[in-house]
Chain A
Amino acid sequence: MIATTDSPQTSVSIGRGFLDVGIAVFAFVLVCAGLNALLPFPEIDIVSAELRFFQEHQDEFDTVFIGSSRIHHQIAPAIFDRVMREAGHPTRSFNFGINGMFPPESGYVLERLLNEKPRHLKWVFIELGELETGRIPQAEASRRSLYWHDWKRTSLVLRKILDGGDQEKARDLFLFHSALFAKNFTNIGRKIDLSWWSSHLGKKGAPPKNLGHDGDGYVQQIRKMSEAEAVAYEAGLERAVAQAEFTPVTPSTEQAYRQWADEVRKAGATPIFLVTPTTAQTKLGFRPESGIGGAIMPFNDVKGYPQLYRNEIRFDADHLNGTGAEEFTRLIADNLSRLIKDGRIQ
């Protein structure tokens, strides 16, 4: 309560003052939300161009892979389609992997993609990983780190941060993501999108730069590991195998995947969760009671898939090179065919 001379008139004016502040805040929030809904999708490097491409060709695809560089550089849709065709389940797939696109950003992009209502979508492969809550110093001032901070995504991230142990780190991250949410909600600096949109009215946007040789989103990495890198890789792998254990994803991550799985199903497709062959041998999974359903293909299992861990087909500890990617893609297609054949997936 504001201290003034305590006349009844002043009390009334204080009450009215609060009401006026409430009205101003309401108007502010309303206009922000309205502008947020009306403004064109921001021009985010790679993401926007790829979304536009997908929008233009959405009805051509029935299978989509979504995730980070571990999808982008490791799954070749052309090979996947060939193997599936040979197995009697013809597909037309698209690799929507983008470097550095981890959950929840990948979930946001998935939602945008599903909002386009692709008519023939059957399978959606989602890279499985923990919600990314950290700060990436090189990217934290970028628009890429900002655009996906809607309430749905931010609340998931904040929940995960609050569930974490390190309080000091949690405070910093909480403030960081809250500030990004506020910035995104209040449309700070979005005039740039208006300028971009008005200058491109009636023009076709530039084609995406990273669709790869076949124009299906896959870009192969050719390099092989050096001898020294191979030695370090083998040692790291050995350590990881020794420490391997089953770890259910955190509750907030689980909630995120539940949301995305539901959305995929609503769009008439089937979600399949994919753990790529990284040296981290943590067997990620959902708790049985999570109710998420959907198949999980855990390829980060050196005992189950030793062929994916030979150093000659690795680009680095996290990625396969072109040869490895071909082998990996074939394995995914084989696994899917088997699941269909066994009736474990429809």
Chain B
Amino acid sequence: MLFVEFRFFWFFLVVFSVYWSLRENRSRKSWLLLCSYVFYAAWNWKFLFLLMGSSALDYFVGRMLARTENPRARRGWLMLSLGANLGTLAIFKYFNFFITSAATLLAWLGLPASLHTLNIILPVGISFYTFHSMSYTVDVYRGKMRAVSSLLDVAAFIGFFPQMVAGPIVRASMFLPQLRTLRKFSEVDVRGALVLFLTGFIKKACIADSLAPIVDRYFAAPGSFTAGSAWVAITFYAVQVYCDFSGYTDMAIASARLLGYELPVNFRFPYFAQSMSDFWHRWHISLSSWLRDYLFIPLGGSRGPRWFVYRNIMITMLLGGLWHGAAWTTIIWGGLLGLALVVEREWQYWTDRGKQERSGMRWLGWALTMYWFCLALMVFRALNLPDALVAVQSFVLFRSGGAQDLGAWMLWIVVALGIVHWMNARGTFSNWWRRAPDPVFAVIYGCVAATVLLFIPPHYTPFIYFQF
């Protein structure tokens, strides 16, 4: 069930109506859990058991961590949680990738081996809910939060349907306290949530899904297109992936908000970033901060000699790439972005930071950041490594043997979207709709929603981040 489908609208209407008509917090949480499981089962009910198992295990580990002060026992319980969660992820997401990569390596070394892959379906949202789940046990282990005594709370947190399948990645320490108190409808910013949902819907259904066929066409055979088309395709893909993912996040945050819960902000105008580190403070913030807190810092973070910090950055980014998909293209993508972060740090080390504050440098920083991000995105989107090489060659060297042309004129769409995005960043659209009287807002909302539907493609495209 996708947020942009009619059936989600009906589903949410039922969830919303029943939820707010219940008076007990426990009943509400039970209802939410039931609905979350129905939402997940709509995709594949069999994998519901995996989700339930993950919730039950981490609840149990949390309880065990609360019971003992013995550091070895505590570490053991944590390892059990991490092992189970990462093991599940490894089996369902990475097993075939590692097997085929090992077979290729052995063949390359002249030791051909017949290794068998498994016919595995990747459970939707597994990368997201295992991270939700692990954040709970790690935070309890670190003493950042107390273990929760209610299994219902842990299960409702891990399974909460707005954020379960594609984030944002919510920390237990942020969400579980919200579950403890009865939410009040009078405190819900209904208007803000409705506008946010519609904004997300427009981003996903009108913009991302309209650009998808053009991007797909290019990446199906990058070698048959001109170099100019590579620029058009990657610009469109950058817009598509942003609108797709931030659109999903907007709808997730809005749905949660309508039920009285706050989810973390996940995007803060990332395409206005002036450096790669600035970019990661704006793009998929919930993942980058998760990786920072649960991987980069435990590795040693920014303390220590430069090479040590750079090693930590590269490990974090390579694993971040791997998180996005079991493929060499995503690992290289992570590596390229990690490399940019290393170069940026080195640059800052050797130069006077004050110079970067100059306007010209800011523009240069923005241009370089976008260029490098698009280059890495080219590898990320390519179907395989040879295609990635062809696409990158077209993009960087303006060299391509292909003759098909996507038409550079189409970039005006991106310019128009960029202007709207810029106006939004400056707050042009942020408040006028709050000042309108309720009936006027209702009329405008109804009219805009009806008009927006004209501009969505007749067939839905799955969210890009569902595959992660």
Contact = CB atoms under 8 A, between A and B. Distances in A.
A146 B458 CA distance: 10
B458 A27 contact: no
A25 interface: yes
A186 B456 CA distance: 11
B446 A25 contact: yes
A27 B186 contact: no
A4 B185 contact: yes
Interface in B427-461: 438-439, 441-447, 449-451, 453-459
Interface stretch (A28-36, A57-65, A318-326): A28-36
A188 B444 CA distance: 19
Contacts of A3: 20-23, 185
A42 to B, nearest CB: 10
Contacts of B454: 35, 187-191, 194
A23 B443 contact: yes
A188 B458 contact: yes
Nearest to B449: A28
A171 to B, nearest CB: 14
Nearest to B5: A179
A29 to B, nearest CB: 8
A5 B456 CA distance: 40
Nearest to A39: B454
A184 B186 CA distance: 36
Contacts, number: 87
B355 interface: no
A27 B459 contact: no
A24 B453 contact: no
B108 interface: no
B184 interface: yes
A26 interface: yes
Residue in B7, B20, B458, B459 with the greatest tally of chain A CB atoms within 10 Å: B458
Interface string A133-155: 00000000101001000000000
Helix, strand, loop or mixed for chain B's interface? Answer: helix
Interface string B83-104: 0000000000000000000000
A23 B444 CA distance: 10
A13 interface: yes
Contacts of A190: 454
A186 B451 CA distance: 9
Contact of B450 (A31, A141, A189): A31
Contact of B457 (A4, A13, A189): A189
B456 A188 contact: yes
Contacts of A24: 442-443, 445-446, 449
A232 interface: no
A4 B459 CA distance: 40
A179 B442 contact: no
Q: Size class of B's contact patch?
A: 20 to 34
Contacts of A31: 446-447, 450-451
Interface in B1-32: 6-7, 20-23
Given A188-B458, A194-B454, A23 B20 contact: no
B442 A182 contact: no
A20 interface: yes
Given A2-B21, A4-B185, A20 B438 contact: yes
Interface residues of A, number: 37
A21 interface: yes
Contact of A28 (B186, B446, B459): B446
A19 B439 CA distance: 8
Contacts of A20: 438-439, 441-442
A145 to B, nearest CB: 11
Given A10-B186, A189-B457, A189-B458, A35 B451 contact: yes
B186 A186 contact: no
A300 B296 CA distance: 78
B450 A5 contact: no
A179 B6 contact: yes
B184 A5 contact: yes
A228 interface: no
A294 B49 CA distance: 61
A16 interface: yes
Contacts of B451: 31, 35
A1 interface: yes
Contacts of B457: 189
B450 A32 contact: yes
B456 A189 contact: yes
Given A4-B184, A188-B456, A23 B439 contact: yes
Contacts of B438: 16, 20
Given A3-B22, A188-B458, A27 B453 contact: no
Nearest to A33: B450
Contacts of B450: 27-32, 35, 186-187
Contacts of B444: 27
A189 B445 CA distance: 19
Residue in B21, B190, B444, B455 with the greatest tally of chain A CB atoms within 10 Å: B455
Contacts of A191: 454-455
Contact of A21 (B20, B184, B442, B449): B442
A31 B438 CA distance: 19
A1 B186 contact: no
A10 B453 CA distance: 33
Contacts of A182: 6
Nearest to B187: A4
A183 B457 CA distance: 11
B91 to A, nearest CB: 34
A143 to B, nearest CB: 7
A183 B447 CA distance: 16
A1 B19 CA distance: 10
Residue in B439, B444, B453 with the greatest tally of chain A CB atoms within 10 Å: B453
Nearest to B24: A3
A1 B185 CA distance: 11
A111 to B, nearest CB: 23
B44 to A, nearest CB: 19
A290 to B, nearest CB: 36
20 contacts: A3-B21, A3-B22, A5-B186, A17-B190, A20-B441, A23-B443, A24-B446, A27-B442, A27-B444, A27-B450, A28-B446, A30-B450, A31-B446, A183-B6, A186-B453, A187-B450, A187-B454, A188-B453, A188-B456, A189-B459
Nearest 7 pairs between A and B by C-beta?
A27-B446, A189-B458, A31-B450, A28-B446, A23-B442, A24-B442, A24-B446
